[in-house]
Amino acid sequence: AQSVTQPDIHITVSEGASLELRCNYSYGATPYLFWYVQSPGQGLQLLLKYFSGDTLVQGIKGFEAEFKRSQSSFNLRKPSVHWSDAAEYFCAVVDSSYKLIFGSGTRLLVRP
């Protein structure tokens, strides 16, 4: 069965510092991968997605993610974090029935 692992429950970075959130997936074929962001008490917003092609994908709000098949990873990055980036981030993979399977999430805290 498909699964997604986000090994970091919490991450704290200083404003202006770079960010990398880790995501590992388990899927037999080429996966469809997503990163979503959730602000407190809100729904989820799609940051970016990978279906095929270029393994480095650009998203909204200055985020990017790199698909690495050899490592079964799809890590999210941002070169300079802003205080408004504080939120919870979810990695997800689509299974063979087109259902989204989410990781447990990583909560990002930003120090002033």
Partner 1 sequence: SQTIHQWPATLVQPVGSPLSLECTVEGTSNPNLYWYRQAAGRGLQLLFYSVGIGQISSEVPQNLSASRPQDRQFILSSKKLLLSDSGFYLCAWSEQGSTEAFFGQGTRLTVV
* CA 17 to mean position of chain CA atoms: 18
Q: Which stretch binds partner 1 (CB under 8 A): 19-27, 52-60, 73-81, 101-109?
A: 101-109
Contacts of 108 (CB under 8 A, 6+ apart): 10, 11, 12, 13, 19, 21, 81, 85, 86, 87, 88, 89
> In terms of CB distance, is 13 or 47 closer to partner 1?
47
> Rounded to whole angstroms, how far apart are CA atoms 43 and 104?
15
Instruction: Spell out, one character per residue from 60 to 89, where the chain touches partner 1: x when CB under 8 A holds, - when not.
Output: ------------------------------
By CB under 8 A, residue 28 contacts partner 1: no
User: Are the CB atoms for 11 and 106 separated by under 8 Å?
Assistant: yes
Sole binder of partner 1 in the list 46, 56, 60, 109 (CB under 8 A): 46
> Rounded to whole angstroms, how far apart are CA atoms 56 and 74?
9
CB of 80 to partner 1, least distance (A): 27
CA-based nearest residue to 86, from 19, 8, 4:
19
Sole binder of partner 1 in the list 1, 28, 29, 41 (CB under 8 A): 41
By CB under 8 A, residue 101 contacts partner 1: yes
List residues near partner 1 by CB under 8 A.
6, 32, 34, 36, 41-46, 49, 51, 90, 94, 98-105
